[in-house]
């Protein structure tokens, strides 16, 4: 019912011309879109309960909408403008992907080529170079496959029910949220402990949904001329939850690792989980990156956006054209900030 009301609300705004006015008024603002993965199938249960991997047909519809209403430019061009380079034309947008999932090559890359739209893919270096699964994916896989009916929360000590799919999803989302709040040195250990408790010593391999890009796939995309490669750290560690020296290593070492096998400079950075502060931004600049992207759920305004604090927003799989328009003109982000995530 809530989704139906939201669709009706944004349809009414679109038909009344409000979103059209906002799009024209904000033509100098730049929406930077955040994606993670695009899948050809729907994965059940915990595996993709947050819809990080949207369906391919919906992604293609969003690409068509962007091509119709915006000039999609490389992130590097936008960063250059922020640093005093050539001014941008009105109506620009940027597409980015985080993490480095294999479907970025098998599904996303062909669609971007079909529409002639550039994008930047931010890779977690250890995920791609070593095949080390992201801790959030290990956690989701463990919750999906477990036979246990309850689990003690590793941080709060409360009991979490696991008897139904809904309970497993809720427990996964709760524990993932709380693990993000602990210091980095503890997070991986706690996540591994939860996985062992859920699955025992014999952990089955994760599903293809969580497979990383190969080095060969990354190089092919980097050589294509319209796909930029950026860094997402080494381990997808939250940089504000560690010492400055540890954060510096994540920022510097990931750049070196990706440059080694890409054979080209890595000039953009994506803060894992979107979390950053002035100290982390300074470390990113000192490492030689030209820009960095975060979260924010808002447009980037020309008078206030800094190269190391570029905001991003996301389109949901279920978004209608009117909801896409409301997101890309800034209305939806403003409503979310006033009413919470339900907008």
For the chain, give percent helix, strand, coil, nearest 5: 50, 15, 35
DSSP H or E stretch at residue 73: none
pLDDT in tens, 188-214: 899 999 999 999 877 778 899 999 999
Calpha distance 72→31 (Å, rounded) = 10
Residue 288 pLDDT > 80, yes or no? Answer: yes
Determine the Cα–Cα distance for residues 98 and 161; give it in Å rounded to an integer.
31
pLDDT of 233: 96
Confidence of residue 335 (pLDDT cuts 50, 70, 90): confident
CA angle 270, 301, 100 (to 5 degrees): 20
* Interval 261-285: pLDDT, tens: 888 999 999 999 999 999 999 999 9
What is the per-residue pLDDT for 340? 59
Do 15 and 86 share a domain, yes or no?
A: yes
Provide the mean pLDDT of the chain.
92
Structural domain contains residue 206: no
Q: Is 54 part of a structural domain of the chain?
A: no
Task: State whether 241 and 265 are in the same domain.
Answer: yes
- Decide if pLDDT at 92 tops 70: yes
Half-sphere exposure in the Cβ direction for 232 (13 Å, CA): 26
Task: Using pLDDT thresholds of 50, 70 and 90, give the confidence band for residue 334.
Answer: confident
The answer as to whether 332 is a domain residue is yes
Q: Which of 28, 55, 42, 45 is nearest to 316 (CA)?
A: 55
Biggest CA–CA distance in the chain, Å, is: 59
Which two structure tokens, joined as six digits, stand for 179? 């693990």
61 found inside a domain? no
CA distance 216 to 164: 41
Q: What is the CATH number of the domain that holds 120?
A: 3.20.20.370
Question: Cα–Cα distance between 107 and 103 in angstroms, integer?
Answer: 5
* Number of domains into which the chain is organized: 2
20 & 155 share domain: no
Predicted pLDDT at 337: 72
pLDDT value at 6 more than 90: no
**Range 48-55 average pLDDT:** 93
What pLDDT sits at residue 341? 54
pLDDT at residue 11 greater than cutoff 90: no
Of 153, 179, 199, at which residue does a domain stop? Answer: 199
Q: What is the mean pLDDT of residues 257-264?
A: 91
Residue 205 lies in a domain: no
- Same domain? For 87 and 180 the reply is no
Q: Would you state the pLDDT for residue 33?
A: 97
More confident site: 201 or 57 = 57
Domain that holds residue 187: 135-199
What percentage of the chain carries pLDDT values higher than 70?
A: 98
Contact between residue 234 and residue 266 where contact means Cβ atoms under 8 Å apart: no
Residue 170 CA, chain-centre distance (Å), reads 21
Instruction: Say yes or no: 140 and 114 in one domain.
Output: no
Does 190 lie in the same domain as 100?
A: no
Whether 124 and 246 share a structural domain: yes
Same domain, 251 and 330: yes
Q: Are residues 128 and 142 in the same domain?
A: no
Residue 62 inside a domain? The answer is no
Give the ranges where 274-320 is alpha helix by DSSP (H).
Answer: 278-286
Nearest CA among 296, 288, 299, 301 for reference residue 271: 296
d(CA 101, CA 117): 19
- Residues 181, 231: one domain? no
Burial class (CB in 10 A: 0-12, 13-18, 19+), 203: middle
Task: Name, in order, each residue with C-beta under 8 angstroms of 130's C-beta and a sequence gap of 6 or more.
Answer: none
What is the pLDDT at residue 200?
86
Rg (Cα) of the chain, in Å, rounded? 20
What's the whole-number mean pLDDT along residues 13-29? Answer: 87
Q: Is residue 343 predicted with pLDDT exceeding 70?
A: no
What's the confidence (pLDDT) of residue 88? 93
Residues 146, 278 within the same domain: no
- Do 76 and 193 fall within a single domain? no
Domain boundary among 175, 199, 223: 199
Q: At which of 199, 223, 249 does a domain end?
A: 199
Q: Write out pLDDT tens, residues 126-185.
A: 999 998 889 999 999 999 999 999 999 999 999 999 999 999 999 999 999 999 999 888
pTM score, whole prediction: 0.94
């Amino acid at each position: 019912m809530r989704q139906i009301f939201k669709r009706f609300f944004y349809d009414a705004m679109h038909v009344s011309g409000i979103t059209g006015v906002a799009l024209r008024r904000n033509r100098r603002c730049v929406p930077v879109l955040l994606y993670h993965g695009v899948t050809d199938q729907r994965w059940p249960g915990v595996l993709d309960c947050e819809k990080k991997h949207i369906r391919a047909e919906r992604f293609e519809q969003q690409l068509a909408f962007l091509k119709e209403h915006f000039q999609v430019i490389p992130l590097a061009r936008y960063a250059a403008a922020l640093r005093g380079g050539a001014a941008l034309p009105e109506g620009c947008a940027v597409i980015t992907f985080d993490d480095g999932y294999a479907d970025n090559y098998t599904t996303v890359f062909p669609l971007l080529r079909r529409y002639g739209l550039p994008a930047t893919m931010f890779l977690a270096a250890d995920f791609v170079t070593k095949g080390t699964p992201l801790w959030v994916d290990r956690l989701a896989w463990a919750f999906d496959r477990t036979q246990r009916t309850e689990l003690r929360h590793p941080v709060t000590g409360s009991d979490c029910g696991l008897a139904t799919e809904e309970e497993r999803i809720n427990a996964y989302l709760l524990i993932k949220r709380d693990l993000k709040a602990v210091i980095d040195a503890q997070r991986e250990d706690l996540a591994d402990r939860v996985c062992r408790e859920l699955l025992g010593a014999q952990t089955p391999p994760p599903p293809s949904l969580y497979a990383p890009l190969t080095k060969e796939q990354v190089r092919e995309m980097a050589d294509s001329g319209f796909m930029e490669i950026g860094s997402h750290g080494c381990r997808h560690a939250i940089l504000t939850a560690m010492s400055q020296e540890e954060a510096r290593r994540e920022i510097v070492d990931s750049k070196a690792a990706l440059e080694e096998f890409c054979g080209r400079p890595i000039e953009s950075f994506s803060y894992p989980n979107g979390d950053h502060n002035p100290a982390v931004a300074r470390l990113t600049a000192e490492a030689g990156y030209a820009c960095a992207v975060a979260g924010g759920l808002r447009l980037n305004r020309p008078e206030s956006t800094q190269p190391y604090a570029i905001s991003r927003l996301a389109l949901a799989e279920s978004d209608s054209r009117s909801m896409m328009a409301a997101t890309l003109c800034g209305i939806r982000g403003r409503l979310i900030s006033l009413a919470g995530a339900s907008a």
